[in-house]
A and B are shown apart, each in its own frame.
Chain A
Amino acid sequence: MAAQTKKGDSKKSKENPKGKFSNFISEIINTFKGDTEVSLNMKKVIVATLSVVFFIALLMVAWIEGGRKRVLEFPDINVTSENEGCMNCHQVDTPGVVRQWKESAHAGEGVGCYNCHRAEEGEPDAFDHNGKWIATIVSPKDCATCHKTAADQFAASHHAKAGQILGSLDNVLAEVVEGHVIRDANGNKTKESAAAVSGCMQCHGSEVKLLENGKLDPATWPNTGIGRINPDGSKGACSSCHMRHKFSIAQARQPESCGKCHMGPDHPHIEIYMESKHGIAFVSDRPNMVEQMKKKQWWPGTDFEAGPTCSTCHMGATSDLEATHDVGARISWNLRPPVSEKIDTYEGREKPTWQERRKEMQSVCRKCHSDQWVGNWYIQFDDFIGLYNDKFGKPATKLYKFIREKGLITSVVTFDDKIEFTYFYLWHHEGRRARHGASMMGPDYAQWHGMYEVAERFYQEFVPELREIIEKNKRKGGTKRASALEAERMLNQILNSPMHKWFLGK
């Protein structure tokens, strides 16, 4: 049969050169129609053709494989010639750093060691390193070369000013009460307080100083505090949140990144978050959330629906809101001071107003919550802050300031009188815990770690200690007695008010 077909084909092809081809085509068509039997030769042709086609498909597979980006392995690394020298040594000297960098997006973009660490001769912290001018510290000013918007937003944030704690009450604790600073005859610091160096400054940031030999002063560096004051004058450390040298966006979005500093007795944000529904939802779906966090676009309600992290609400973009590195931009209350204030009423911050800030935060909330939910929640929140302010924050602050101002306690130094610690605990620890607990939906922090302890501190410590001070000064006579009587009148007025009269059994 096969031989016959072949003979017939060759005869036709001699008469008509097109015959062989048309026969071939018609045989294929008939083959698929199933009308005729397929000759063995034809089958061989089909096998050969299909083998070629399949081989081409395999080549296509190989081509796709060649161009495929691996996700978990190191991305395509682009080591430019100016960075090659750095790599050669640091692969041996600091292999961890190089490995981190290799996993970074910077590595894929050809942004290497020298691009960030380069310096100009004459810059305060520049030093000659194998023929190149290098600065150890990469400041926000350096990062702004490529990330200008983020750097500008950060510069306008409260975070950037965190280093200004150096003159605050907390710093008196770390430098005087807890620690010790050595000063020269002119009052200049010759040795920082170790408590401040290892404590406060690691979150708030140090003022980085250089030794006479040009090396970084160990009292001020290593430091990645968020408000670090850098030798180039810029403020902040991007690596505070974006850990070097991987600079992973997913890592910065983890709640623990903020939790390095936002934790503990005075502002237990990470603890409150973990207690909140947001935290529970995040932890429950953490593997998925971490995957989703790796993508640049990470909009709540669009790219994920589980638990938001700190960065989602305070910084993240949504379908109708830009991301911001001004982390306080969406906060409407300042919950840190003894008496909370709407945020546009301090530090001369008139714009944006607290209403505008709140509107932005509410637009984030609305990605997952209804208008009614968001509106009602803010009423609950405002009521809570109002209660703290009116019942404890304002009265305690008014009384404390009065006795200090009138000299009923020493006014030259702080924390030498017991009531100063009592007052500090009341607003700085318990008062903040209560307010932050309410602000971040952590009920136990609002109540038992919060308002309960504020109340106990106020009624069982602050008021008795104040009465003792009043009695002591009443016995002294003169202006002290007059001030003590005035303080007594103020205290009685407060305790007889509707909020407190229960304490007097009324």
Chain B
Amino acid sequence: MNNNIKKWFAERIPFTFESFKAFGSEPVPHHLKHWWWALGGTPAYLFVIQMITGVLLLFYYIPAEDAAYNSVKNITENISYGWYIRSMHYWSANFMIMAVILHVFRVFFTGSYRKPREINWMVGTVILAVTLLLGFTGYSLIYEQLSYWGITVVTQLLDAIPLIGQFVGDFFRGGKTIGQGTLSRVFIFHVAILPGLLIVLLTIHIAYMHTQGITKFKFAGDKDKKSFPFVPDHLITEIIIALILMFLMTCLAIIFPVHLGSEANPQITPDHIKPEWYFYFAFRILKLTSDTGAVLIMGFGYMLLMFWPLIDSGFRQKKPESERSILIGIFMVLTLVFLTLWEALELLFSH
């Protein structure tokens, strides 16, 4: 009987237990034994948390202009464990963005984007953009004063894109003013388009990684081993990181539960419009320049980031050992940190 069942499944499922076992025994480069080099799975893990908590929030969220805010309020104040689920969604989003940014820094400063991984780097930069957009659209769904005015600022920026700005702005707003059309778009982007795109991009990213292998590093004192099996050693490491993250996020949810500002009101502009922390630098650039200036600077900056492997390759063609990329990278990171801190301090002292 047992054999018959096994046979029935074996004939219908194109995978065998052995193939799963072989997948689990995938060799992991030895430098991943170091804790701080084992953070690669963190954003993916946080994305899973995002999806689970997101689906739970969807049970109660209503994407309607006159109901969105109150549905978030209902989740936060009335639904059993709503505050916890919403806080976990919020904190895991922040951690995910942080982890993705740190991952970009790590890959950049270790030169892991170099040949043959240029395309995977580009995929990674799109993942970064999608992650930030997920953050922005999620923030906008709350439909509180700050998020409402956040959408207003962002759609004004879209309007300022040369040539196609008006079309892009109108498309995103669903017309000339922020309203139900905008909320519907933000909702569809946040719960369907962007997560779907992220899953596709992550699959490509990981498939590339599998095909090309992880860049290997060797540290002083490392034993002369080339690799170790994924299961169980690295899997347990990832479980430890996951547990630490869950604990940390739960603590943050308890100590700093996610709050809810006042309901969106198109008639009243808040004294201080403030985006989420990961857009502080962009907001500062906007304040220092103009809508068009900010769009051009950020567009140019993003293109530089995406195509950096090609620029770096240009540097290294002239001088093979050139570390110019590192110096430029340090300068860019310091600039971003400076702009972020500038904005943060101004907001802090303006309250």
Contacts and interface: CB of A to CB of B under 8 A. Distances in A.
Contacts of A38: 33, 35, 237
A54 interface: yes
A504 B160 CA distance: 67
Interface string B250-264: 110110000000110
Contacts of B254: 57, 60-61, 64
Given A38-B33, A287-B263, A72 B78 contact: yes
B251 A71 contact: no
- Give the secondary structure class of A's interface: helix
B267 interface: yes
Nearest to B66: A287
A54 B247 contact: yes
B40 to A, nearest CB: 16
Contacts of A73: 78
Nearest to A56: B247
A285 B265 CA distance: 7
Contacts of B35: 31-32, 34, 38
Contact-residue size bin, chain A (C-beta under 8 Å from the other chain): 20 to 34
A65 B236 CA distance: 31
Given A31-B35, A60-B254, A72 B247 contact: no
B77 A70 contact: yes
A15 interface: no
Contacts of A32: 35
Given A43-B240, A71-B78, A288-B263, A57 B33 contact: no
Nearest to B271: A305
A61 B265 contact: no
Interface string A33-59: 011011010011011001101100110
B106 interface: no
A349 interface: no
A47 B239 contact: yes
Given A54-B246, A54-B247, A68 B265 contact: no
Nearest to B84: A61
B265 A287 contact: yes
A212 interface: no
Contacts of A291: 262-263
Contact of B78 (A34, A60, A70, A288): A70
A61 B87 CA distance: 11
A6 B116 CA distance: 42
A6 to B, nearest CB: 15
A65 B81 CA distance: 6
B349 interface: no
A51 B250 contact: no
Interface residues of B, number: 33
A57 B237 contact: no
Nearest to B254: A60
Contact of A57 (B34, B223, B250): B250
A57 B236 CA distance: 21
A284 interface: yes
B81 A50 contact: no
B243 A47 contact: yes
A61 B240 contact: no
A57, A73, A285 interface centre (most CB from chain B within 10 Å)? A57
A174 interface: no
A39 B223 CA distance: 14
Contacts of A70: 77-78
B262 A35 contact: no
A306 B239 contact: no
Contact of B243 (A31, A40, A54): A54
Interface in B58-90: 73-74, 77-78, 80-81, 83-84
A46 B244 CA distance: 10
A285 B262 CA distance: 10
Contacts of B246: 54, 57
A72 B69 CA distance: 14
A199 B239 CA distance: 74
A31 to B, nearest CB: 7
B221 interface: yes
A69 to B, nearest CB: 9
B268 A35 contact: no
B243 A43 contact: no
A34 B38 CA distance: 11
Given A61-B81, A65-B80, A73-B78, A47 B265 contact: no
Contact of A288 (B34, B81, B237, B262): B262
Given A38-B33, A40-B232, A58-B250, A284 B265 contact: yes
A65 B240 contact: no
Nearest to B34: A34
A284 B267 CA distance: 6
Contacts of B80: 65
Interface string B109-123: 000000000000000
A288 B265 contact: yes
B77 A50 contact: no
Contact of A54 (B81, B84, B232, B250): B250
B81 A285 contact: no
A238 B184 CA distance: 46
B267 A285 contact: yes
A48 to B, nearest CB: 10
12 contacts: A34-B36, A43-B233, A50-B247, A53-B247, A54-B243, A54-B246, A57-B250, A61-B253, A64-B254, A65-B80, A70-B77, A287-B263
Given A70-B78, A288-B262, A288-B263, 6 more contacts: A34-B34, A35-B221, A54-B246, A57-B254, A61-B253, A64-B84
